[in-house]
Each structure stands twice: as structure tokens, then as C-alpha cells.
Amino acid sequence: MKPLVLDKLQWPTLLDLLAGYTQTTAGKDHCLELKPNLSRDDIELGWNQIVPLKNLIRTGYVPPIGDIPVLTSTFRGASLGQTLDGESLREVYGLLQTVKSVQRFTTDFAEKCSTLVKFDRTIYPLPHLATAIETAISPEGEILDSASPELLSIRRKKLSLRKTIETEIKGLLSDHEVENYLQDKFFTVRSERYVVPIRLDGRGRVKGSIQDTSDSGQTLYIEPEAIKPHNEHLLELELNEKLEILRIFRELSAQVAADLDTLKANYEALVELDILSAKARLAANLDCCAVTIHDQPCLKLKGARHPLVTTPNGGKAIGNHIELNSENHILIVSGPNAGGKTIVLKTVGILHLMAKAGLLIPVEEESEIFLPEEIYLEMGDSQNIEANLSTFSGHVLGLKPILEQAGPRDLVLLDELAVGTEPQTGSAIGQAVLECVADRKALGVVTTHFDNLKGLAMSDPRFRNGSMEFSVETLKPTYKLVLDIPGQSHGLEVAEQMGLPAHVIARAKDLRGESSTEMDRIIEDMLAAKEQAKQERAKFEQLRMETESQKFRWEQDREALLKAKEKASEKIRNVYQNQIDKLKIEFRDQADQFKKLVKKLPSGDQLTELKDEARDSRRSAENKLSALESNLQKLGDEYKLKQDIPGEPVAIDQLKVGSKVYVVSFEREATVTKVQKSPPAVEVSVGLLKIKPALQELRLIKNSKDTKPAKKRSTSANKTQKIGFIVPSPTNSIDLRGQDVERALEKTWAFIDKAVLRGETQLILIHGHGTDVLKRSIRTALTKDSPYNLDFRPGEKEEGGDGVTVVQLIL
């Protein structure tokens, strides 16, 4: 990617923002040098690591890495066998302490964040080395007394000897013979020896050797003869101390060298984690996410935001939808000045740079991108004073390589194309340039005010219009991109908003006149059509929501009815079963009594009579038991629908619009109205009702006669005698008189549905006589359209005669 393109797309500024989230110097240096040149595999691998870490960071947890210094030179010195100083050793100790903290963090959060698993297994805090350095080296890099017993012994001897020397030399300074020749009444150290300052005229008065003189030559620094042996011993101790310190440094350096591979792995792991953490923190703060990467040139950016643009109150930039593909591969963005056209163009550019560098991008998750091999950027302000080029000349020079080199896998960004010259010529050049770019099949985004470029999208499918929205109420841009509608410049409105004098604005309006350009009229018509379409969509959405709500309520009612039906049948089964159990007990009791009688009675006619009587009792009990078991079996058969379901199980490939099916849960025949192969889904019509049952609820009917509707319900012709007399009440009767047929049937089914839910089984429908139309319609519907098993008959005289229909629900 050319450095000039990176600069114009503000890539260095984004890297500064990213580097600000790092904690280590090495991590910061890496982020500042990040290049947008990764392969698709490397990008997706990086995203898979960043996303879990981003989610963890959003909960408030950040890896505690801290500021680890660059240890490259320290590691190099240890590998060459050099002796490390105290500061370098303390840096190694700091690294190990960070490793210890990070390891606790990775252990605690590895289950929540898969990215941390690798680091939890990679780093090791080397506690033996950390303890050795901590014991020997102070935070300031100095050797501690605890570094070794020998060092502690030497330093204690030095301290004791110094006290002895100072005591003796203080006694010397108090001597009257010496006191008269002292320059100052103090002692000092010269050439690592304790000395006293004597005036030049006191030379020879104090026994000892001269170690130094003052700059003026008037003061002699003499080592007294009496403390010379002590000074010699002190020098010997100091030499031994230095040798011991050197030994300790060498020993610690050797330990560092021995663990160098682990230390390097720790350091590299922490820097890598720091870089990943910075990328994740950037993504969390900008609401970035991973997207789908396509091999073929296309992009669908949903809610795309420029990462460096904020709103006036500090919020995130406005998100826009930008979509291009192999057919519509050049977006022409128009609209008012300062309306956001250039921001949209730069957003497309910098988001692709972020993706190619392995960063998550600020869009919605449903977005899609491709990885351009090259990004070409040319802006209409390409003035070059040093090269003696005007704005237009510099612009044309920038267009030349694009027209010669851009290809199908490149992204072309042209801002204010062909400005800087006479408008008619500029617009002609602009159109020719865009047609050339389109011929080269590159994806592109261009901003313009030229009407002829806006018109390209209306005549050439390779182009697509987009406009920056402008609020005529506030006279301010909204920064929202509207696809497929060209934009108006709103030049006068913007000039007025920016404070151009009112009389100048008025004169401009007079000069322009009241008539709009043809393009303005086209745009206004398109906006009006869009608004109308928006309103129609709103109406459709409202209707869809109401339909869904009604369907949901219907499903709930249907579920309740099915449950009530099952509950009623279970209740009946329980009643029968209880009676059977009682009869079985009674039968067993009678059998036992019979056996006892047989044993007690003698043979003869009396015994024969008793045997006959017992046999009759037994046969009576058996008949009762058999009758009840038969009734229970019939009831069970009635509800075991699968044994008698018409048709055959069906696969999705066997269905087509118009196929006849049987819906098991409805016990009704239906017609297929819609078939979806993947995922499998079917819509069927049951009368006027359309439903979407599960595929396993359907049976394919090759012949509609197979549905056997007569088995489902009885008619009044053959079951009337089973319906007993009913006393009307408010809960078991409904008055339908005076209703039209459609309304009366609607109320009838609603009344029966509620009765089923209450467990009512005997109902009265009051329809009157009239012309018999309502009566016939109700009874026909009960015969042909009822979803329930039921019988019905005309009312008895006491019930209302033929003016009512008595219904018996068989639950």
C-alpha cells in the first residue's frame, strides 16, 4: 500500500490510537509499525483471538501486563555470557513478577476467554530465579547484604573497622600538638584512605604520609601513621567486597542464561498478549466486530463508522450502509458540502486497511468485505506547489496510474472527481474517468456534485447512486447515506447556514430563479416515491404484525382446545377404568364365595341350583366387565389417531403447491399453498385459514376419498337417540336468531370452542324457524365443517322443537 494513500486515509493516526492502548514499549513499537498486508487466513486467525478477549474486556477485565522494558539487549548479553548489572537483573525480576500476575489472570479467566488458554500454557514465572534476584538485588539495582553470607560478613567487618578508624582519628584531632596545625577540625577520605587536613606550615608536625593537596596548595591531606594499618585492612576488605559482588552478579547472570529460552518465551508471550489486548480494547471502545471475508470483490458494510470521527458531543460517528458487488461496483456519492461525502469515502478505505492489518472493524456483524490487492485514492485537492502543479493538474496526474493500473481486485476512491476546472469540461472528464474505471471492473467510491455523474447510475447498471441526507427543517446535514437516490447540493442553504450575508443569498436566489434543474426534479420525484414506499412498508409491517398476533392467539386457543380434549378423554377413560376395577373386585369376590359354597354344600339338586345361580351371577359380572372394557377400547381407538390416519407419511420433495394433505392435529384435509425446500417448511390452507404445520403432522392424500370423513363425526340421522334431554342454561345455550349466516356460524364455532374448554358436552343452538336458511346452514356446517367429534338432533318439544339444534360433543 502506497505511503501517500495511508497518510490520506489517516492510517498513522489510527495506529497512534491503537498504540495508546498498549502497556509495553515493545507492544507500542509493534502497533506503530502495523502494516495492512495480512493474508485472509492470518486475519481470521487473529480475529478469532481478538473477539473473545474483546468480550472479556467489555466486562471490565484487562490483562495486568504493565510497562515491561525492552529486554532485547539484556537477553543478548546473557546469551553471550556477559555479566549483567543490577538494573538489568531487576528488569528480569520485573518480567517474572508480571508473568506471575498474568498467569493468575489467565488461570482465572481461561474458561471465559479461549484466547487466554494458549498464554496460560506458554508462560512460566521461574520462581527460583525470581527469588534469587529479589534476595540479592534491591529495587534500585544495588547488591543487598542478603545476597550471600560472605558479603554480609565482609560488610560487617568494614563497618566495625570504620568505627575504629573514626574513633582513633577523632582522638588525633583533639591532640593539642596537632590541633594548632589543622586547616579544619574534621577528617575526610582521599584515595580511599582516611586523612586529616593540615596547613602547609604544619608539615612534619604530624607523622604520616601525604595522600593529596588542596587546589591552592595550602592544605595537605595526611594519612596519620597510627591509622595506616587500619586503612590498609579496609582497602583489603573493600577489594574482597567487590570480588564477592562480581561473583554474585556472575552467578545470577549464569542463572538468567540458563533460563534464557523460558525468559524469551515469557517476554514474547507478554508482548503478544499486550498487542492482542490493545486490539481488543480498541475494538471494544469502537464497537468493532469480525465480518465475513469474500474471495470475490464485493462489500456490504452495515452501520459502517469511521474510527476517528466523533459527533460534536464526543459520541461515535453516524453508521451508514454501503453495498457494492460485481454488478453495481461503483458508488457515486453526492449531496451538500460538509455533508459527509468524503467521510463515507474514507470510511470505506480505512475499514479495509483495518481488516488487512488484522483489526476488527466498526460495523455490524452481518457485514461483508473483500481484501483489495491495492487501494487507489485520489482527492480533488492534489495541489503540488513544489512541482509547480495546480490543483487540477495535480489531480489529473493522480488519476493517470489509476486508469492504467487499477484492476478487478482493487479498490478505487475518488474524492471530488475532476474539480478545479471549468464545470462542463470537468463533468465530461469525470464521466470518462468513471467509465474507464468501470471497464477495468474495479470496485470504487466517488464523490461529486456533477449532475451527469449522478445520471450514470440511472442508465448504466455498473453504477449506483448514494446521497448524503440533508434536513430541510434544520438546514443541516444528517450525515446519513441514502442508497439509490442521487443527492442535491443545497448550496444556497449551506451558504446561508455558514453565515454568508443575507443580501448575497437573496441575490443568488434571484440569479438562479425559481425553476429547478431537471436533476433536482428527478431527485424530488425519487424522494417522494421513496417516502410513499416507506409508508406502504409501514402499513404492510403493521398488517404483518397484526396477522402474526392473531395467528399466535389462534395457536394458543388451538393448543388449549387440544389439551381440553385430551383432558376430557382422559377423564372418561378414568371413569371407565374405575368401573372396570370395581367390577373385577366384585367378580373376584363372587368367585371366592362360589368356591366356598361348592366346598360346603353336598351333592344333589340343591347344589345344582346353587351352581346355576352362581354361574348366572358370574356370567352377569363378566358381561358387565366385558361391556366396560369394550367401551374403553372404543374410546382408546378413537383417540389413537395414528392407527386410522388417512394418507401416507410425506417428504418435502413429494409436496408441491396444490397437493392434497391430511393435517393430523386438525383431523382435516388441506391444500398445500407454499413449499420451502431449505429449511423444510410448508403452508397449507384449511378452508379460509392458512397455517404452517410441522412436516410430520402431514399425510399425503393420493385420493381424497381416503380421508373417510364419515368416521370422524356422526350425523343426526343415526345417533339422535343417544342425546338425552337437555335443560337450557346461560352456559350451555346461545341465541343466534336475527344473525346473518356468516356471523351466526362465527358465533357458533366460538361458542363450541369455549364449551370444550369448560368441559361442556351438551349444547343448545337457538336459531328459530324463519325461512329455514339459518337452521340448514348451521346443521350443514355441523355435519361437514366441525373440527370436533359431535352428534346433533332437532330439539324436543320441551326444548324448543325444530327451532333449536341440540349438540352432543364426544370428547
Would you tell me the crossing angle of helices 260-286 and 86-109 to the nearest 10 degrees? 60
CATH number for 31: 1.10.1420
CATH number for 782: 3.30.1370.110
Residue 339 is assigned to a ligand binding site? yes
Tell me whether residue 396 is in a domain.
yes
pLDDT at position 724 = 74
Tell me whether residue 393 is in a domain.
yes
Rg over alpha carbons for the chain, rounded to the nearest Å, is 49
Cα of 595 vs its chain's centroid, Å = 80
Calculate what percentage of the chain has a pLDDT beyond 70. Answer: 80
pLDDT tens track for 352-391: 999 999 999 999 999 999 999 999 999 866 544 344 456 7
Residue 28 is assigned to a ligand binding site? no
Tell me whether residue 216 is in a domain.
yes
604 has pLDDT over 60: no
Q: Last residue of some domain: 641, 661, 689? A: 641
pLDDT tens track for 629-673: 555 555 555 544 444 577 888 888 889 998 998 887 767 788 899
CA 279 – CA 703 distance, rounded (Å): 66
Question: Is the bond leading into 69 cis (omega within 30 degrees of zero)?
Answer: no
**Is residue 683 located within the same domain as residue 750?**
no
pLDDT tens track for 430-451: 999 999 999 999 999 999 988 8
**Is residue 736 located within the same domain as residue 661?**
no
Tell me whether residue 180 is in a domain.
yes
In the block, residue with C-alpha cell 366460538: 750
**Is residue 333 located within the same domain as residue 394?**
yes
**Is residue 297 located within the same domain as residue 275?**
no
CB burial readout 158-175, b (16+ within 10 A) else e = beebeeebeeebeebbee
pLDDT at position 584 = 67
**Is residue 413 located within the same domain as residue 327?**
yes
Residue 336 is assigned to a ligand binding site? yes
pLDDT at position 707 = 45
Domain that holds residue 755: 711-809
CA 707 – CA 297 distance, rounded (Å): 55
Residue 337 is assigned to a ligand binding site? yes
| Structural contact between residues 693 and 662, judged by C-beta atoms closer than 8 angstroms | no
Beta bridge partners of 672: 684
pLDDT tens track for 208-263: 788 888 877 777 887 888 889 998 999 999 999 999 999 999 999 999 999 999 99
Tell me whether residue 532 is in a domain.
yes
CATH number for 468: 3.40.50.300
**Is residue 687 located within the same domain as residue 699?**
yes
pLDDT greater at residue 369 or residue 474: 369
**Is residue 70 located within the same domain as residue 196?**
no
**Is residue 636 located within the same domain as residue 672?**
no
185 has pLDDT over 80: no
Tell me whether residue 793 is in a domain.
yes
549 has pLDDT over 80: no
pLDDT tens track for 259-318: 999 999 999 999 999 999 999 999 999 999 999 999 999 999 999 999 999 876 677 788
Tell me whether residue 511 is in a domain.
no
pLDDT at position 525 = 62
Tell me whether residue 146 is in a domain.
no
pLDDT at position 790 = 86
Residue 338 is assigned to a ligand binding site? yes
Residue 476 is assigned to a ligand binding site? no
**Is residue 364 located within the same domain as residue 491?**
yes
Residue 341 is assigned to a ligand binding site? yes
**Is residue 751 located within the same domain as residue 795?**
yes
**Is residue 737 located within the same domain as residue 600?**
no
476 has pLDDT over 70: yes
Q: Last residue of some domain: 674, 707, 740? A: 707
pLDDT at position 644 = 59
pLDDT at position 487 = 76
CA 733 – CA 113 distance, rounded (Å): 66
pLDDT at position 499 = 84
CA 160 – CA 169 distance, rounded (Å): 14
pLDDT at position 96 = 97
- The number of distinct structural domains making up the chain is 6
**Is residue 18 located within the same domain as residue 80?**
yes
Q: Looking at the chain, how many residues does it have?
A: 811
pLDDT greater at residue 506 or residue 806: 806
pLDDT tens track for 321-361: 999 998 999 999 998 878 889 999 999 999 999 999 999 99
Stretch 574-578: mean pLDDT, rounded? Answer: 69
